[in-house]
Structure 1
Amino acid sequence: MTVSTTAVLHSEWIKIRSLRGTLGSLLAVFAATVAITTLVFATVGRAEADNGEDPLFGAFYALNFGQIAALAFGATSVSGEYLNGALRVSLAAVPRRTLFYGAKMGVIGGCGLAVGTATTFTAFLAGQAFMGPDALALGDPGVLRACLGGGVYLALMTLLAAGLTAVLRSAVLVLSILVPFLLIVSFVVGDLAGAGADFLPDRAGQQVLRQDPVGSLGPWAGLAVTALWAATAVLAGWWTVRRRDA
Structure 2
Amino acid sequence: MSTSAVLHSEWIKIKSLRGSVGSLVAVFVATVAITVLVFATVGRAEADNADAEPLFDAFYAFNFGQVAAISFGAAAVSSEYVNGALRVSLAAVPRRGLFYGAKIAVLGAAALLVGLVTSFTTFLGGQAFLGEYAIGLGHPGAVRACVGGGVYLALMALFAAGLTAVLRSGAVVLGVLIPFTLIVPFVLGDMAGGAAQFLPDRAGQQILHEAPDGMLGPWPGLGVTALWAVASLGAGWWAVRRRDA
Q: TM-score, normalised by structure 1?
A: 0.98
Gaps of 5+ in 1: none
TM-superposed deviation, 1:54: 1.5
TM-superposed deviation, 1:191: 3.8
For the residues of structure 2 that align with 1:245 and 1:56, how far apart are their CA atoms?
A: 48
- Please list the CA deviations of residues 170-222 of structure 1 after superposition, one character each: whole Å capped at 9, or x if unmatched: 00000000000111112112242242111110000000000111111000000
TM-superposed deviation, 1:139: 1.2
For the residues of structure 1 that align with 2:152 and 2:193, how far apart are their CA atoms?
A: 22
Structure 1 contact 195–216 (Cα < 8 Å) conserved: no
For the residues of structure 2 that align with 1:7 and 1:45, how far apart are their CA atoms?
A: 48
Partner of 2:185: 186
Matches within 5 A, 1:137-216: 137-216=136-215
Structure 1 contact 25–72 (Cα < 8 Å) conserved: yes
Alignment RMSD: 0.7
Structure 1 contact 206–223 (Cα < 8 Å) conserved: yes
Structure 1 contact 113–155 (Cα < 8 Å) conserved: yes
For the residues of structure 1 that align with 2:138 and 2:220, how far apart are their CA atoms?
A: 22
Partner of 1:88: 87
For the residues of structure 1 that align with 2:55 and 2:192, how far apart are their CA atoms?
A: 26
Runs of 4 or more above 2 Å deviation: 190-194
Q: Is the counterpart of residue 72 in structure 1 residue 71 in structure 2?
A: yes
Q: Which amino acid aligns with 1:162?
A: A
For the residues of structure 1 that align with 2:189 and 2:103, how far apart are their CA atoms?
A: 33
- Please list the CA deviations of residues 46-84 of structure 1 after superposition, one character each: whole Å capped at 9, or x if unmatched: 001122232100000000000000000000100000000
Q: Which amino acid aligns with 2:65?
A: G
Q: Is the counterpart of residue 13 in structure 1 residue 11 in structure 2?
A: yes
Q: Is the counterpart of residue 48 in structure 1 residue 46 in structure 2?
A: yes
For the residues of structure 2 that align with 1:216 and 1:179, how far apart are their CA atoms?
A: 25
Q: SS of the counterpart of 1:47?
A: helix
Percent of matched pairs sharing the same residue = 71
Partner of 1:243: 242
Structure 1 contact 161–174 (Cα < 8 Å) conserved: yes
